[in-house]
Amino acid sequence: MTLVYIALGSNLGTPIENLRKSLEHLSQKMIIKDRSKIYEAKPYGGVKQNNFLNAVILVETNLTAQKLLSVLQNIEIKMGRVRTIHWGARIIDLDILLFGDKVIQKDNLQIPHTELLKRAFVLIPLSDVHPQMLFEKKISEWINLIGDSKDVWLTGESW
């Protein structure tokens, strides 16, 4: 079994319900070990849209990274995600952040996630479930280096 960190995000429909529903789907395919608090964040990438709700979960799975990617993409499709605009609005976004201690560089899958250290909306919830060192720095140090943590705040929503 491998420990995997997955980022969840939503800003269409009822985002809190989308996060909850995606967690239900995920729990049918793997063991949910821990989950972050739920955060609201300004959109990333310059596309005008609603704020996102974001979270990170820790799961345990016996799936390969490639098979897990397929499972996540199928959940996104099942929930109604349509890929139109890069960094655009979405009903659900599920990204593999870390897959055990593996480094994977394929056309359709990069682990650790290539944008991980650039996004406070991922690092802040990740720090809830993975408070240790990440690439020889504390996660809080990575967050301070980004400097956009003011664009991410706790919602008070619960799972």
Q: Could you give the residue numbers annotated as active site?
A: 81, 90, 93, 95
SS3 21: helix
The sign one gets for the Cα dihedral 19, 72, 142, 1 is: positive
SS3 93: strand
Compute the distance between CA of residue 159 and CA of residue 50 in angstroms, rounded to an integer: 21
**Considering only CA atoms, which of 86, 104, 100, 149 is closest in space to residue 123?**
149
